[in-house]
């Protein structure tokens, strides 16, 4: 992606995302959520890749609510920044990232 600014997700990549989404949704629904806040952050990123900006934002906000150390949210935001070259394929990233950056300052 850094070379050409595209995600280039293959059909098998999309299938893997669907499977990962199911696993992480199950973990996020447990009480307490398993592997918090990462199950929410992972779900947010999967939703972003699948083109759902509303679910992306909602899952990310749940992840921020579940953090218990500042570095967790910062790590998530830093990873999202790396996706900016492919933002044309990721609806909601450019619009939402500034809000998340403010949350981790």
pLDDT above 60 (res 104): yes
* pLDDT digit string, tens, across residues 2-31: 556 788 889 999 999 999 999 999 999 999
Q: Give the number of C-alpha atoms closer than 13 A to the C-alpha of residue 37, restricted to the C-beta side.
A: 22
CA 75, CA 96: separation in Å to the nearest integer? 16
* pLDDT digit string, tens, across residues 36-75: 999 999 999 999 999 999 999 999 999 999 999 999 999 9
CA 82, CA 23: separation in Å to the nearest integer? 24
CB neighbours of 36 closer than 8 A, spacing ≥ 6?
28, 63, 66
The pLDDT, as a whole number, for residue 6 is 83
The pLDDT, as a whole number, for residue 60 is 98
The pLDDT, as a whole number, for residue 54 is 98
Burial readout 22-36 (b: 16 or more C-beta within 10 A, e: otherwise)? eebeebbeeeebeeb
Domain positions in the chain: 11-103
């Amino acid at each position: 992606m850094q070379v050409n600014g595209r995600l280039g997700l293959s059909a098998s990549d999309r299938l893997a995302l669907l499977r990962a989404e199911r696993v992480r949704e199950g973990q996020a629904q447990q009480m307490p959520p398993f592997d918090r806040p990462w199950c929410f952050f992972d779900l947010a990123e999967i939703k972003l890749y699948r083109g759902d900006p509303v679910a992306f934002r909602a899952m990310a906000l749940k992840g921020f609510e579940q953090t218990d150390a500042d570095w967790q949210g910062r790590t998530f935001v830093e990873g999202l920044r790396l996706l900016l070259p492919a933002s044309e394929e990721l609806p909601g990233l450019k619009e939402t990232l500034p809000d998340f950056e403010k949350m981790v300052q």
